[in-house]
Amino acid sequence: MAERLRLILADDHVVMRAGIAALLAAEPTIDIVGEAADGSAAIALVERLKPDVALLDLRMPVLDGVAATREIARGTTQVLILTTYDTDADIERAIEAGAIGYLLKDTTRDQLVEAIHAAARGQTVLAPRVAERLVARIRRPAPVALTARETDVLRAVADGLSNPEIGKRLTIAEATVKTHLLRIFAKLDVSDRTHAVVVAMDQGLL
């Protein structure tokens, strides 16, 4: 039998919290030692009870799950997020705050029990959909970085200026303007000025 764990549960929705508690009540390896309705109360419970794992909702009053995670993760209690939200921003904020796991509320009872034990052992636990989003984000090409001068040149192109006019505006030689443009084309993977402006605007570079 797996080692018996001490767990606190935090969710501002009473029915949801009761449902999760009911799911885990019959589990002989887990003791729910405290429940909270907001992030601040969850932190207080952790400080007082020193549980192995804190199972937190993401959106809660007073302090949300991310803020609570940031405080709790400074100690020995592992934080496992259980939420309905699976946006990149929510996932990243929670993980960066110190959460060891991120589950969605369509998780089955068995998956939840297994995740709680894994979290207590210090193992990262991610819902499959969350893992897919993180992998996709990591594989996404890094945004192009233009230098300040390249941005100035491209902005002048967007204003409809010719190379001589750009040189005059920026007080640089026309040959230097051409060099900057070639570098911009290479970075944006384009072959002409119009396409460079379109791609740069699409990527938020202008």
Model confidence pLDDT, tens digit, residues 100-152:
999 999 999 999 999 999 999 999 999 998 988 888 777 766 667 899 999 99
User: What is the pLDDT averaged over residues 28-41?
Assistant: 96
Residue-wise pLDDT for 53-87, tens only, equals 999 999 999 999 999 999 999 999 999 999 999 88
Residue-wise pLDDT for 163-185, tens only, equals 999 999 999 999 999 999 999 99
Please give the residue that has the higher pLDDT: either 2 or 106.
Answer: 106
pLDDT of residue 142: 66
- The reported pTM is 0.67
Sorting pLDDT into bands at 50, 70 and 90, what band is 193? very high
* Amino acid in the structure at residue 5: L
pLDDT of residue 141: 67
Quote the CA–CA distance of 102 and 13 in Å, as a whole number. Answer: 18
Using alpha carbons only, what angle is made at residue 47 by residues 29 and 15, rounded to the nearest 5 degrees? 60
Residue 82 belongs to what H/E stretch? strand 78-83
Any idea what the CATH number is for the domain that residue 155 is in? Answer: 1.10.10.10
Sorting pLDDT into bands at 50, 70 and 90, what band is 36? very high
Residues 30 and 98 reside in one and the same domain: yes
> What's the number of domains the chain is made of?
2
Residues 112 and 64 reside in one and the same domain: yes
Residues 65 and 163 reside in one and the same domain: no
Whether 180 and 153 have beta carbons less than 8 Å apart is answered as: yes
Joined together, the tokens standing for residue 81 give 């997020």
The number of residues in the chain equals: 206
Residue ending a domain, among 139, 162, 189, is 139
Torsion angle of the four alpha carbons 123, 133, 89, 146, in this order, in degrees rounded to the nearest 10: 120
Is the pLDDT reported for residue 1 higher than 50? no
Any idea what the CATH number is for the domain that residue 101 is in? Answer: 3.40.50.2300
Quote the CA–CA distance of 80 and 101 in Å, as a whole number. Answer: 5
Quote the CA–CA distance of 150 and 177 in Å, as a whole number. Answer: 9
Which residues have CB under 8 Å from 159's CB, separation 6+?
none
What domain range is 154 assigned to? 148-202
Joined together, the tokens standing for residue 26 give 């019959």
